[in-house]
Amino acid sequence: MNITVIFFLGFIVALIGVVPPGLLNMTAAKISLKEGAARGIMFSTGVCIVVFIQTYLAAIFARYLSSHPDIVAILKRVAFVIFVLITIYFLVSSSKEKEKKVQAEIKSKHGRLLHGMLLSALNVFPIPYQAYMTITLVSFSWMSFERLSIITYVTGAATGTFVMLYFYIFFFDKIKDRKFTSQKSMNLSIGIITGFVALITLINILRDL
C-alpha cells in the first residue's frame, strides 16, 4: 500500500475523532483566545505528542489481536454493540439537551506543552478507537502491520489531530457564538461519528461471515 494513502488514512481517522467540540480542542481554542496563538499551538503540540504514542500503542495492540482471529471476531461484535449503544445514547441526548456552551477552564499560563500532554494522556479514548480502526483498515487491505506502515499511519493520525486543533485555535473566535459549539450539537456530532463507525463495523462483520 502506498505510504501516502496510509498517511491520509491516519489523518482522516484522527481528524474525524477530534471534530466534535471536546476538552482538548476547546481548551486549545480558549488558550489561543486568552494567551495568544503561540501558546495554543504549544498546547496542541503537547496533545499530538501523546496522540502519536497512543496511536502507536493502539497499532501494536491491533497487530497482536490480528494474530488471534478468534478474539478479533468476538471484539468486532462487542464493538458493534457498544458503538450502536453509544450512538443511541448521544442521539437521544442531543434531542433532550438544552443549549449550553462548552467552557474549558484554563488554570496555568505556563507549561502549555506539558499541559497538553497531561490532558491528552487523560483522554484514553484514542487507544481503543485507533486499535479498532487499525484492525478494520488492515482487514480491508488498506494498510499493513509492517513497521513503515504503522509509523506512517501514526504520523498521519498525529498530523490530523494537530490540523483540527489548529482549526479550532484560529477559527473558534468566528464560531464561538454559533450552535456548533453547544453541548447539544456536540452530542449529535459524536452520535453521527459513532453511528458511522458502527456501520463500518457491521460491514466488516458481514464480510467475515
Residue 26 C-alpha cell reads as 476547546
Amino acid at 156: G
Considering the entire predicted model, what is its pTM? 0.71
Which range marks the domain in which residue 159 is found?
3-208
Q: What is the mean pLDDT of residues 49-58?
A: 95
Residue 80 C-alpha cell reads as 458493534
Residue 135 sits at φ, ψ, to 5 deg, of -60, -40
Q: What is the DSSP string of 28-60?
A: HHHHHHHH-HHHHHHHHHHHHHHHHHHHHHHHH
Residue 183 pLDDT: 57
Residue 104 pLDDT: 44
Query: Cβ neighbours of residue 142 under 8 Å, at least 6 residues apart?
Result: 1, 5, 6, 9
Q: State how far the Cα of 130 lies from the Cα of 13, in Å rounded to an integer.
A: 8
Q: State how far the Cα of 158 lies from the Cα of 10, in Å rounded to an integer.
A: 8
The label of the residue with cell 488498506 reads 142
DSSP 8-class letter at 101: B
Structural domains counted in the chain:
1
Q: What is the mean pLDDT of residues 174-181?
A: 54
Residue 101 sits at φ, ψ, to 5 deg, of -70, 140
Residue 15 pLDDT: 87
Q: What is the mean pLDDT of residues 126-141?
A: 85
The yes-or-no verdict on residue 8 having pLDDT over 70 is yes
Taking a C-beta distance cutoff of 8 angstroms, is the pair 180, 21 a contact? Answer: yes
Taking a C-beta distance cutoff of 8 angstroms, is the pair 31, 112 a contact? Answer: yes
Taking a C-beta distance cutoff of 8 angstroms, is the pair 205, 65 a contact? Answer: no
Q: State how far the Cα of 139 lies from the Cα of 129, in Å rounded to an integer.
A: 15
